[in-house]
Structure 1
Amino acid sequence: MRAQQYDQRDNKLHLNEIPVPEPREHEILVKIACASLCHSDVMHFEPNDQGLILGQNPVTIGHEATGTVISTGSGEAAKKFKEGDGVGFLCAVECCFDCANCRTVHNSWCVTGKTKIQGFSLNGYFQEYAVVDARAAMVLPEGLDVKTAAPLFCAGVTAYHGIEDCELQAGQWIAAVGCGGLGHLGIQYAKAMGLKVIGLDIAEQALEEARRCGADHVFNTAKDQDWKKKVLEITNGGVDAAVNFTASKRSYDDCPSIIKPGQGLLMVVGIPREPLQLNALDIALRRYRVKGANNGTCYNMRPAIEFSAKHNIRPHLTTYKLEDVPDMIELMNSHKAQGRMGVVFD
């Protein structure tokens, strides 16, 4: 089969021919219908001190996909699926899925210490077939299309929990910092939960996407010198939560100034190259609180996906061919992409 593989030796992608994998007892073999690009995939190519762990080399990139079951392993979890099922899945493998960390925190912190992430330390999904752990997979709910739902299985779960885990009430204000691949989904989730939304970005096409997704106000933070003042006026003192979907350290530095003092929240989602710098006095004096959200576990994946189906949450997906993945990465780096970009396989 064909696979887009990252090679550390030249820091480039190569379209390679590799064997189709065989499912083990607890795995299912999936024919990939759609694999979509996440900013984390681009971290392969850039210096980063935020904990990105690579393994085999070369490695197929991509950790966000949907597909159709081709065959299953012999184990109980795998046998819950049948040939032809449309499925989505998360990318953590080799963990136990049963310890407290796997159930309530993230599979990366499994007590076994053996977790690997497909697309980074093992082959991912920009290839024609993949094996995935049956315990981290689910059949797509009615209404979700196997060729367009791929972004929901990283961006969707992440954006859903980025909004839901703020624990706000309908009518409260939330800022979506970054309105692109993650943010445009976050805005849809926020509006479905009855929240009032301010979209912030530096790209006009992302702000236009935010408007289409229902944002109540949008500001170009690179062009509007008074955007912070305007946010404070609109919200009567600051947003109840600022959810940062970007990889921009500067945008994180800007967030505290628009958060309502007291119980206001900074939700960390995007991962900049540089470590964040938080003022300890701000935290101690409760100027704002800090939480994080991510692509979740198999236990909180299902609520996010079912909410998406129920409320018609749809990623804006621009489709490409497998050989176009380098072009997709260039578009992401240049901030010219709208929504999510994905490879749809024949």
Structure 2
Amino acid sequence: MRKLIWLVVIAGLAYTGYWFIGAKSTEKAIAGWASARASEGWQAEYSGIDTHGFPLRFDTTITKPRFADPRTGVAFSTPQFDILSQSHRPTRIRAQVAPTATLATPLQRMEITQDRAEAELFVEPGPSLTLDHASAVLNGFSVTSNLGWGVTLETGNFNTQRDISDPFKHDIHLAVQGLTPSQGLMASLDPQGLLSHQFEQLELRMTTTFNGPWDIHALEGPRPQPTHIDLTNFSAKWGKLDLRMTGAFDVDGRGYPMGTVAIKAVNWREMIEIAISTGMIPQNMSNLALRAGEMLAGMSGRKDTIDAELTLKDGMITLGFIPLGPAPRVVIR
């Protein structure tokens, strides 16, 4: 019995030592990462790092973190950021952001509030912490820009899973409900008042191949950029408008997509009128776009529905033979 007691005591002391070494190592690693970024010219500041949760958890709180990347001009700050993990599963990490945060880019500054903002990451063991799969949840989310626009979101869910056969490929799913643009944003998106005030549903499923792995180094230097996207499903319902897209395309070195995307648009006329009013379709092309839309809708058998193919090439988008304007760049800052 005495030997058993001594074994229990020794095991307890050994585990206690493991926990405190792990806690201090976590704090040291975060502080070291911030110091390394500061030496590269970043703003990398915080007022405190503290790890608690003994004996079963490593829960680290970073107080008042402020980070800014001079390469991209992106800056982030929040009153508190928590990194949570179980002591026996340190490669399963949960991150939580405080109810308020600020995100700034070279173009604008955004104030963010949320009821819930957390992400769970499963990374491979090792110094690179390569992402295997992750999920994120947003509830009661709101963004206000100093440019005068804003959006609110009831719920948002994001998931990504790395492909077993290709470490640079991820299956991505995004689902959003209750996305409401501010009045100022609605006025610019829909000056003629054709839309309802809220996106009822937005869903995205795609498989994306990047030019590098998503790991700790992606936070330090250039972000991995998409090189190919298989769009399994994009669907958006906004009032009477119903838009669905599928397809596949490459992404060139400048971030421009090259390929084809099948599109089905219900109440397409309102979509084209919105594109004209927001400048996506030049005013001098408006009559051609509407006439061509009528022709494409006639081919699908329903006057209110276009069932056609978008061509992405040379930085431009065309619908059938209708030039819709510049293609968006697919670039991760």
The interval holding the TM-score normalised by the smaller chain is: under 0.3
User: Which one has the bigger strand percentage?
Assistant: 2
Could you state the TM-score of these two structures normalised by the residue count of structure 2? 0.26
Larger CA Rg, structure 1 vs 2: 2
Could you state the TM-score of these two structures normalised by the residue count of structure 1? 0.25
